[in-house]
Amino acid sequence: MRVEDLILVSVDDHVVEPPDLFEGRLSTKHAEAAPRLVRKDDGTDVWSFLGAELPNIGLNAVAGRPKEEYAMDPQSFDDMRPGAYDIDLRIKEMDANGVLGSMCFPSFPQFTGQLFARTAERDADLALALVQAYNDWHIDGWCGKHPGRFIPLAIPPLWDPRLIAAELERVAEKGCHAMTFSENVSELGHPSIHDADGYWDPMFATAEELGTVLCCHIGSSSKIVMTAPDSPMDVLITLSPINIVQAAADIVWSPAMKKFPNLRFALSEGGIGWVPYFRERIDATYDKHRFWTHQDMGERLPSQVFDEQVVLCYIEDTSGLKNLADMNEDMVCWECDYPHADSTWPTSPEHFMKEIEAAGGLTDAQIDKISHGNAMRMFDYDPFSVIPREECTVGALRAKAGDWDVSIKARGITASGTGAADLAKLSGTARD
Amino acid sequence: MRVEDLILVSVDDHVVEPPDLFEGRLSTKHAEAAPRLVRKDDGTDVWSFLGAELPNIGLNAVAGRPKEEYAMDPQSFDDMRPGAYDIDLRIKEMDANGVLGSMCFPSFPQFTGQLFARTAERDADLALALVQAYNDWHIDGWCGKHPGRFIPLAIPPLWDPRLIAAELERVAEKGCHAMTFSENVSELGHPSIHDADGYWDPMFATAEELGTVLCCHIGSSSKIVMTAPDSPMDVLITLSPINIVQAAADIVWSPAMKKFPNLRFALSEGGIGWVPYFRERIDATYDKHRFWTHQDMGERLPSQVFDEQVVLCYIEDTSGLKNLADMNEDMVCWECDYPHADSTWPTSPEHFMKEIEAAGGLTDAQIDKISHGNAMRMFDYDPFSVIPREECTVGALRAKAGDWDVSIKARGITASGTGAADLAKLSGTARD
């Protein structure tokens, strides 16, 4: 497989919501209360909402800037590459990077719409209207503008599993088969996925029936892994993906997996290098301890539950690729993470291929699965019905991009933060 | 390499302290205040200390019992195999399992002597006397009774780094080159290992100078990984070893590693399957983020710091053994974990070899390193100076054990616990 012939679909990118997001998508009453973008005297952009300012317009959207400027968060639209928020320019950025398809996670509403779940405590009507308007914008206004280029990803009305079920059905009719969920919903103040009364069953049942994947992005528990108040940032950055192993354990041992054996979760940005170890550990746990924990997985081993129900996602992970035989290669999907700091943009195809070589090589069939085939199957995404296959390759897309400027540009912003407390402050409401 | 020819040294076993532990090792004044073992009317054994009862005599010491009886904790000495607390019978258990050498972690004082650190808040003199008496018993009374069979492991007077330094020196003179420490000392209410003023430097400097390894056992932060109040036990059991990755990140990014490049930590019971992923992640973190986190590792990559300063320990870990090339094989040590639930006793040699075969095989030189060579070098342990090498093999030790009974025996105790809250309750002070 040559780099030019790759077809790349990323199951984890991020959209920084543009100011006109809610325009024309809300009733007059709700439109008045909707978040509005405000440029402040100091040049920063904030979302103004219900009397509060949400400073975090674009968490970590630092692609295309020198590494010295990887502060945690841009404070205005001027701090970002326009591809972060402009759909037509996003396509250019994708073309230049040879990326055909993309699934985009939200920014200011937080990964699983925590902002609107908090809104629901004050005004549930408004909250639901905002969630639906957001999803309509995302599906029709963002993904819909360039057919075949995006995997739509809805956010849930997280405060009510029956409303989520209804929203899952509503967006599925628009072709959306992915919804964000939390890596640990109990950290957000809701019942856990172990709930003995099946609190989340309406959502699980509908997601299973529709074939919709629940995508749990790292950080979606709104909890930062702080080992100590004075841990350096490097500790937090190191740990943020591996922390998803807690979500993996929750999922495998959740009673929901037995009730809904076709339900699927994705561990977005979770990496794959820890998976062989984890699969071994869950089976050993079952083998040694089930007699007194009274665990009964039925016909399956825990590793089978994991293999069948958990979509694995990685940006860069040579150790995982090297051990592909010890996980389900039909569930491994590649991610670009544009425009965040861990993205390989604008040389993703080269990174992708270099890693596979470093891992000792994969067959073309395996490469096709990981680069796009698994994502197409998992998310019911069929770009080739819209765009001829030969126009979907890295080579074809880059040719289309022409001389689109992908050079690294300084924007004059550096971070002063050096510890976990600074990160918590910098990230503000986006992670609280 | 045949199973009978293996030489096995375990760097992680556990001693359940016998009732006579402090006898003759304290002044009259301190002897009166020392913990005393009391058998209660209900048949349970507790340590009575400063007006409180410590119910946890032997955390998880369930070896040799049917899996149905893997409750978290035996409540009396009658619930355990006598090898848990009787040194002569321990040797029999080791012989029968073909294990030459063993490093034993404490039980009732908790992994890094948290019990005595709490005592120090009331009576620092007493606390230090107890730590020293404990270490004297451990080194002379436990390890010393059978020369060549144990790697001594001291506990620290955790409340004062200068006292720790002095204790490191005191026990080193008795041949002890291992001391327990915490996987996250800030969780225990002390400054973290990132402390800008170098709070722990006296301990680090002395440990480095003496070549003493600081052994951080999983669970030694006294913090259970609870994903939700109703997570089943299986989640906790799954996550307890992988949680050590947080300690690994703390160690790598601690300023102490630069100051003390020959200081060594061991990640006891931490497993090794996650290591290749982790090494890749720390180097990527450094490559991408150091420019704004202002991290400077000097001449070394983070993975080199890890490779040179962190001793890796595993009980069973096929995925790790399969990826030995992606870690420092000179730092990997095997563990037996007797008498805990995750132990492979009494068939450790067979487990050890079967795993190596499942991992695709290792050379005899690699097997020698992992089975005993690395442990001997790391902990300054030289059994062959005491016992002829040919008497140290699995085959020779088992021949010596004769027909020692290792059959599984029910003791009529089953667990009722099914959730994290139960675990917390069951574990009581041993993990609080």
How far apart are the C-alpha atoms of A431 and A421, rounded to whole Å? 13
DSSP A16: P
How close B280 gets to chain A, by Cα (Å)?
7
Taking alpha carbons only, the member of A318, A391, A400 closest to residue A351 is A318
Q: Which of residues 4-23 of A touch B (CB under 8 A)?
A: none
Q: Is the pLDDT of residue A431 over 60?
A: no
B interface mutation test: which of A70, A183, A237, A279 has the most B CBs within 10 A? Answer: A237
pLDDT at A413: 55
A189 at interface of B, judged by CB pairs closer than 8 A:
no
In the numeric block, the tokens 């008045």 are attached to: A32
Inform me whether the C-beta atom of residue B238 falls under 8 Å from chain A C-beta atoms.
yes
pLDDT beyond 80 at B35: yes
For residue B423, give the chain A residue with the closest CA: A293
- A197 chain-B contacts, CB cut-off 8 A: none
A64-73, A219-228, A342-351: which range is least confident on average?
A: A64-73
B44 touches chain A (CB under 8 A): no
In chain A, residues 300-329 whose CB comes closer than 8 Å to chain B: 316-320, 322-323, 326
Nearest chain A CA: its distance from B213 CA (Å): 22
pLDDT at residue B105 is higher than 50: yes
Shortest CB distance from B319 goes to which of A184, A238, A276?
A276
Residue type, B81: R
pLDDT one-digit tens code per residue, B245-297: 999 999 999 999 999 999 999 999 999 999 999 999 999 999 999 998 999 99
Q: Tell me if B228 and A194 make a contact (CB, 8 A cut-off).
A: yes
Chain A contact present for B341, CB below 8 A = yes
C-alpha B42/C-alpha A166 separation (Å) is 56
| Residue A357 and residue A367 in contact, taking contact as beta carbons nearer than 8 Å | no
Residue B375 to residue B360: CA distance in whole angstroms: 23
Q: Are B61 and B74 in contact (CB under 8 A)?
A: yes
Query: Using 50, 70 and 90 to split pLDDT, how confident is the model at B422?
Result: very low
Whether residue B316 and residue A284 make contact (CB cut-off 8 A), yes or no, is yes
3 state DSSP class of A77: helix
* Chain B positions in Cβ-Cβ contact with residue A250 (cut-off 8 Å): 227-228, 231, 235
Contact list, A194 vs chain B (CB under 8 Å): 228, 230-232, 235
CA distance B179 to B248: 17
Mean pLDDT for chain B? Answer: 92
With CB atoms and an 8 Å threshold, state whether B232 touches A293. yes
What's the pLDDT score for residue A412?
66
CA distances, B190 to each of B181, B247, B266, B289 (Å): 12, 15, 20, 28
What's the pLDDT score for residue A285? Answer: 95
Instruction: For residues A250-268, give the mean pLDDT.
Output: 97
Q: Closest Cα of chain A to B237: distance in Å? A: 7
**Minimal Cβ distance to B271: which of A235, A239, A277:** A277
Q: Is B194 on the interface with A (CB under 8 A)?
A: yes
Q: What is the pLDDT of residue B412?
A: 66
Over range B306-313, report the average pLDDT. 98
Work out the minimum CA distance from B385 to partner chain A, whole angstroms.
Answer: 37
- Could you tell me the end-to-end alpha-carbon distance of chain A, in angstroms, rounded to an integer? 44
Nearest to B424 by CA among B238, B223, B227, B234: B223
The values of phi and psi at residue B182, to 5°, are -105, 145
Count of A–B CB contacts within 8 Å? Answer: 220
pLDDT at A429 over 90: no
User: Which candidate, A218, A233, A242, A225, places its Cα nearest to that of A426?
Assistant: A233
Instruction: Tell whether the model's pLDDT for residue A422 goes beyond 60.
Output: no
Q: What percent of chain B has pLDDT over 90?
A: 84
Q: Which of A345, A432, A430, A431 is nearest to A17 (CA)?
A: A430
Positive or negative torsion for Cα B299, B365, A327, A373: positive
How many whole angstroms separate alpha carbon B370 and alpha carbon A95? Answer: 50
Across A58-67, A107-116, A264-273, least confident range: A58-67
**A76-92 pLDDT per residue, tens:** 898 899 999 999 999 99
Torsion sign, CA atoms A285, A290, A294, A296: positive
User: Which of A53-62, A274-283, A422-431, B408-417 bottoms out in mean pLDDT, i.e. has the lowest?
Assistant: A422-431
Partners of B70 on chain A (C-beta within 8 Å) are 288-289, 291-292
Q: Which of residues 251-280 of B touch A (CB under 8 A)?
A: 252-253, 271, 273-274, 276-280
CA dihedral A51, A53, A54, A56 (to 10 degrees): 170
Handedness of CA B36, B181, B205, B189 (dihedral sign): negative
The pLDDT of residue B421: 44
SS3 for A397? helix
Q: Mind spelling out the 3-state secondary structure of chain B? A: CCHHHCCEEEEEEECCCCCCCCCCCCCHHHHHHCCEEEECCCCCEEEEECCEEECCCCCCECCCCCHHHCCCCCCCHHHCCHHHCCHHHHHHHHHHCCEEEEEEECCCCCCCCHHHHHHHHHCHHHHHHHHHHHHHHHHHHHHHHCCCCECCCECCCCCCHHHHHHHHHHHHHCCCCEEEECCCHHHHCCCCCCCCCCCCHHHHHHHHHHCCEEEEECCCCCCCCCCCCCCEHHHHHHHHHHCHHHHHHHHHHCHHHHHCCCCEEEEECCCCCCHHHHHHHHHHHHHHHHHHHCCCCCCCCHHHHHHHHEEEEECCCHHHHHCHHHCCHHHEEECCCCCECCCCCCCHHHHHHHHHHHCCCCCHHHHHHHHHHHHHHHCCCCHHHCCCHHHCCHHHHHHHHCCCCCCCCCCCCCCCCCEHHHHHHHHHHHCC
**Alpha-carbon span B212 to B273, nearest angstrom:** 25
Residue B37 pairs in a beta bridge with B47
**What is the token pair recorded at A230?**
């004075």
Cβ contact A273:A317 at 8 Å: yes
Largest CA distance in chain A: 64
C-alpha distances out from residue A298 to A204, A294, A301, A302, Å? 19, 12, 8, 10
Whether A210 contacts A399, CB under 8 Å: no
Phi-psi region of B343 (alpha: psi -120 to 50; beta: other; left: phi over 0): beta
CA atoms within 13 A on the CB side of B8: 36
Q: pLDDT at position B43, please?
A: 87
Tokens representing A317? 């992970």
Average pLDDT (A291-298) is 91
CA-CA distance, A380 to A382, in Å (whole number)? Answer: 7
Q: Do A291 and B68 touch (CB under 8 A)?
A: yes
Residue from A235, A290, A301 to probe the interface with B (highest B Cβ count within 10 Å) = A235
Q: How far is A415 from chain B (nearest CA, A)?
A: 6
Tokens 């299986």 sit on residue: B234
Q: Which residues of B touch A340 (CB under 8 A)?
A: none
Mean of pLDDT over chain A: 92
Residues of chain A in contact with residue B284, where contact means CB-CB under 8 angstroms, are 316
Interface with chain A: mutation pick from B200, B235, B323, B355, highest number of A CBs within 10 Å: B235
pLDDT tens-digit readout, A309-365:
999 999 999 999 999 999 999 999 999 999 998 999 999 999 999 999 999 999 999
Q: Which chain A residue is nearest to residue B250, measuring alpha carbons?
A: A235
Nearest CA in chain A to B277: A273
| ipTM, 2 dp | 0.92
The single residue listed with the structure tokens 């420092």 is B328
Q: Is the pLDDT of residue B411 over 80?
A: no
Candidate from B195, B233, B274 with C-beta closest to A274: B274
Q: Which band of pLDDT confidence, cut at 50, 70 and 90, is reported for residue A416? A: very low
With CB atoms and an 8 Å threshold, state whether B227 touches A192: yes
**CA-CA distance, B271 to A282, in Å (whole number)?**
13
β-pairing, A45-49 vs A36-39, is antiparallel
Is residue A167 predicted with pLDDT exceeding 70?
yes
The distance of B183 to chain A (nearest Cα, Å) reads: 10
Candidates A245, A246, A319; nearest CB to B280: A319
- DSSP designation for A419: B
Contacts of A320 in chain B (CB under 8 A): 277
Spell out which residues of chain B touch residue A258, defining contact as CB-CB under 8 Å.
Answer: none
The CA distance from A288 to the nearest CA of chain B, in Å, is: 7
pLDDT at B432: 30
Token output for B172: 């080193």
| Cα–Cα distance, A293 to A296 (Å, whole number) | 9
- Averaged over B299-306, what is the pLDDT? 97
**What residue in B sits closest to A292 (Cα-Cα)?**
B68
CA A253 → CA A76, A187, A290, B174, B268, distances in Å?
Answer: 42, 17, 11, 47, 26
Q: Is A334 left (phi over 0), alpha (psi -120 to 50) or beta?
A: beta
User: Which chain B residues touch A234 with a CB distance below 8 Å?
Assistant: 249, 253, 285-286, 289-290, 293, 295
pLDDT in tens, B36-57: 999 999 888 999 999 999 877 8
Per-residue confidence band for A394, with pLDDT thresholds at 50, 70 and 90 = very high
Neighbours of A250 (CB within 10 A): 26
b vs e for B138-173, b when ≥16 Cβ sit within 10 Å of the residue's Cβ? Answer: bbebbbbebebbbbbbbbbbbbbbebbbbbbeebbe
pLDDT of residue B58: 78
Of B192, B239, B245, the CB nearest to A239: B245
